[in-house]
Structure 1
Amino acid sequence: MPKRYFITGTDTEIGKTTIAAALLYAARQRGLSTAAVKPVAAGCEHTPDGLRNEDALALQAQCSSPLDYEAINPVALALPIAPHIAAREAGVALTAARLADPCFRMFERGADLTVVEGVGGWRVPLNDRETLADLAQELGEPVILVVGLRLGCINHALLTAEAIARDGLRLAGWVANQIDPQMERQQHNLETLRVMLRAPCLGVVPRVEGGSAAAVAAHLQLDALLGPTAGLSS
């Protein structure tokens, strides 16, 4: 049965794309088909083919079948600012329903694993009424939380996990991503997170030179998500 997950984080710039791409890579190594959606991306470059986002391109590279860029990143915004502000300045109306439609279309492709990567954290606004959490609720899929290891991460992780549960979604697992190698008492923080987050830890990822999907995937333990190495459809 196809598996689908919504990827969120404790904040922006804490490695959601790095982990999402590594998850897709790990699935492909098991012989599984993969697909991805980054419904909205702010901070896109102008190219001859149109606006392109580095994170969405990284996800596209880990999809097992060729997918049009627009199918992966249907709403591309140039300014690297909060998406609801970037969208308003670009004259684009962001709603959870609008962003959910391309996700459902991607789900219909039936890939063994499909990931939907959010932007920023759980409560990033889409408009004056809705946040990314409303999109996750529309989709109804389990959530993977990327925890950026730095001072304050315990509070951010617990608050995000509480919000996910309050919004009626299941936290399928979490990944600790080392974004501050100088963090004091990192191991103690990890021990606290393991005790207090009521979901499996899927891996502790150190700073990896180049951050390639293959190198990051080596630090993930994904049997809880992907099942045994024989593959999901066997």
Structure 2
Amino acid sequence: MSAGFFVTGTDTGIGKTYVSCLLLQALVARHKSAVGMKPIAAGSEHGQWQDVELLRAAGNVEVPRDYLNPYALQMPIAPHIAAGQEGVTIEIAHIEQCYDRLARNADVVVVEGIGGFLVPINTDETTADLARALNLSVLLVVGMRLGCISHALLTVQAIQQTGLRLAGWVANCIDPDMLALEENITTLQQRIDAPLLGKVPFSGNSDLTQQVQCIDAEKLIQMIGQGD
């Protein structure tokens, strides 16, 4: 049976897509068939949704785009607002159907959420409700910058309140000038009851091949076994 992870983050714009691509590449390097999924994407450039294209390229399973990205919204704003303006109703049941199609064709499905963990996706539900409906273990991407400790611990608390398992977290260094970086990471390690999967250094480019070694592939594979 296919395994899956739900990737969430401490905020929007903290590198969820980049880390999701690193996870996919680490799995591919370990001879797993892996596919990314972006259930909801908001913000297109010239008719392209960059996050979706990056996830598609990082995996090694060819799937119809509509399964990989069921909802593609034009405006780069909160999904429930964008969907309302565009006359789209985001339905978790449809996303579940698309996920099931992907899971039939891959060893692992890496599902990247939109925004933070409690972002509304329609009038009644949030990203947390989507993660709970898919019943996936959660991987947390912490954008390492001033304020990240509180953001991370609040997100961990929200994940725990859903009853989902926090499988691990990644420290993504998005601020090259952050003071006391290592001390912040140590503090998070002491307070988050889940393994650190990797520390991704700040990089001016997006070359996955240079950064994939930052992910602890052994821990990642172990998590897949635990999630079965």
| TM-score, shorter chain, exceeding 0.5 | yes
CA RMSD of superposed structures (Å)? 1.6
Q: SS of 1:116's equivalent? A: strand
Residue equivalent to 2:211: 216
The answer to whether the Cα contact below 8 Å between 1:18 and 1:216 also exists between their aligned partners in 2 is no
Once the two structures are TM-superposed, the CA of residue 20 in structure 1 deviates from its matched residue by 0.5
Is 1:64 aligned with 2:52?
A: no
Of all paired residues, the percent bearing the same amino acid is: 46
Matched residue SS, 2:114: strand
CA displacement at 1:46 relative to structure 2: 3.9
**Runs ≥4 in structure 1, deviation > 3 angstroms?**
none
- The one-letter amino acid of 1:176's match is A
Contact kept, 8 Å, 2:141 with 2:169, in 1: the verdict is yes
Report deviation, 1:208.
2.2
Equivalent of residue 82 in structure 2, options 78, 83, 86: 86
Q: Would you say the 8 A contact 1:10–1:160 is kept in 2?
A: yes
Determine if contact 2:2/2:104 at 8 Å carries over to the other structure: no
In structure 1, what residue type is equivalent to 2:137? Answer: P
Partner residue in 1 for 2:169: 174
Write the letter of the residue equivalent to 2:156.
A
Q: CA deviation at 1:137?
A: 0.3
**2:3–2:103 Cα contact (<8 Å) kept:** no
Aligned-partner SS, 1:211? coil
Listed as ranges, the matches of 1:104-119 within 5 Å are 104-109=100-105, 111-119=106-114
Do the aligned residues in 2 keep the contact of 1:95 with 1:130 (CA within 8 Å)? no
**Greater percentage in helix:** 2
Q: The residue matched to 1:118 in structure 2 has which SS?
A: strand
C-alpha distance in 2 between matches for 1:126 and 1:151: 27
Q: 1:75-128 CA deviation, whole Å, 9 max, x = no partner? A: 10111111111111110001322322211221122x122100000000000122
Which residue is 1:12 aligned to?
12
Task: Report how many aligned residue pairs link the two structures.
Answer: 224
Tell me the distance in 1 between the aligned counterparts of 2:46 and 2:136: 32
SS of residue matched to 1:67: coil
TM-score normalised to the size of structure 1? 0.91
CA distance in 2, matches of 1:95, 1:171: 24
The aligned counterpart of 1:42 is: 42
How far the C-alpha of 1:35 sits from its partner, in A, is: 1.1
CA distance, structure 2, for counterparts of residue 183 and residue 14 of structure 1? 14
Contact in 2 for aligned 1:97/1:135 (Cα 8 Å): no
* Partner Cα distance (1:74, 1:2) in 2: 20
> Which sections of structure 2, spanning at least 5 residues, go unmatched?
none
> Deviation at 1:206?
0.6
